[in-house]
Chain A
């Protein structure tokens, strides 16, 4: 299992309805994207980190390990904004206002990423997928996604083991060997995936499979007070941003 999903399964908010956590996490993300980055994104990021480390109970180390990945994308994604091409200053030059644009983009993407992490750290994907049918997603697509989700972890484990075995047999010792090993890895993943699907098919056929995958979904009710608090938080962030925007430089 991947670290974020493993953390979600043992989250303090695991039993909360996914709808509540979606409204909170994705609401913060949309707020971060729509508000002016200064000071809006800063307020969103501060609120999100406080919720993640406080009521949601995510360990700081876990959060940092997950956040540094999107942060890396955000930083590298902001670098091109520092430069201008083909202007009067030459072929490539520092863009006027580039650092400001890059900083604003960095704030926005960081805050938005934290919002999604809040949802991901508290809601296992296996809790979300079966409920998508009620949201109007065709059951066939949800079933395919469920099978994908379950086989992906097995395949990732298999790929890690095969890679280790290839390394132990000097499969990465030269460039040619690395290419051969990689091709073998890709082909083996394909064979394993289809073999796993075939075995699943045989097992399900023995249990009277009729084309519908029935899974138990933990019962949960949507808490109106929780949603009211989320609405208050989001409204508060928007109001504070609009006020601070006039006061701050």
Chain B
């Protein structure tokens, strides 16, 4: 096994494993995630009440997120990794909905695939279902506001969503396991350094993959993307052209 493969395996603690965090940290991250998930649950509840058939579309969206995180993307270092899917999910379904879909996905991954965990669910939700989607979506919207082309915005949205997820995971791990010599800053450098070697190329890979998927979707599923608000409707296009 090459050093890069070892590092990539270490970097997969993006899903913080069951029992990895001390009890106090596990509870604290759960409390930090709760307002975002509750906000998402309210948004989802409102959507389903006003539009009952959206239950099925939201379920399909969640299943797509679950399957997306199981795909393997080729990494620059020669081995494979999994996309977080947070950028694409946030652009398609918005961050509040992604907070709920991401939480359910992480719960399924813990119970069905033994990835992540239940005591670390709060920490994983905070990095992958809250910070990643909000950071990626925020940048995507900002770029779109400045009329940056759709695919360029999608690339940077997915890139930042992936990278911010890993940055938050590094902070979570550094807070839980300070370096014996240099404390939390040293641990942050240690975990961040491990992630930087593998995650910068992987974030670029995920950005490129998201652009390719979005290009195909804009051809094959124009109607769905318009309904989700990713592509402008004919009336909006005319208004923006004027």
Identify the A interface with B (CB < 8 A): 2, 4-5, 26, 29-30, 32-34, 66-67, 69-70, 72-74, 76-77, 79-81, 83-89, 95-98, 101, 105, 108-113, 115-117, 119-120, 125, 138, 140-141, 143-152, 155-156, 159, 175, 178-180, 182-187, 189-191, 193-194, 196-198, 200-201, 204-205, 209-211, 213
Do A77 and B20 touch across chains, with their CB atoms under 8 A apart?
Answer: yes
The 7 closest A-B pairs by CB, nearest first: A147-B59, A87-B181, A112-B19, A211-B52, A183-B212, A187-B216, A197-B60
Do A26 and B118 touch across chains, with their CB atoms under 8 A apart?
Answer: yes
Do B18 and A201 touch across chains, with their CB atoms under 8 A apart?
Answer: no
Query: Given A84-B182, A86-B189, A125-B111, A116–B18 Cβ distance below 8 Å?
Result: yes
Contact of A144 among B17, B104, B216 (CB under 8 A): B104
Cβ of B196 within 8 Å of any chain A Cβ, yes or no, is: no
Do B60 and A80 touch across chains, with their CB atoms under 8 A apart?
Answer: no
Identify the B interface with A (CB < 8 A): 6, 9-10, 12-13, 15-20, 22-23, 26, 41, 44-45, 48-49, 52-53, 55-64, 66-68, 70-74, 88, 100-101, 104-105, 108, 110-115, 117-119, 173, 177, 179-182, 186-187, 189-191, 193-194, 208-209, 212-213, 215-217, 220-221, 224
Contact of A85 among B10, B44, B45, B181 (CB under 8 A): B181
Do B182 and A86 touch across chains, with their CB atoms under 8 A apart?
Answer: yes
Do A112 and B55 touch across chains, with their CB atoms under 8 A apart?
Answer: no
Could you tell me the dominant secondary structure of chain B's interface residues?
A: helix
Considering the chains assembled together, what is the distance between the CA atoms of A173 and B13 in angstroms?
30
Considering the chains assembled together, what is the distance between the CA atoms of A146 and B224 in angstroms?
22
Closest to B115 in A: A69
Query: Given A77-B17, A201-B56, A87–B182 Cβ distance below 8 Å?
Result: yes
Chain B residues with Cβ under 8 A from A147's Cβ? 55-56, 58-60, 62-63
Do B118 and A87 touch across chains, with their CB atoms under 8 A apart?
Answer: no
Q: A84-B181, A148-B101 are in contact. List 6 more A-B contacts (CB 8 A).
A: A87-B181, A144-B58, A182-B72, A182-B73, A186-B71, A190-B221
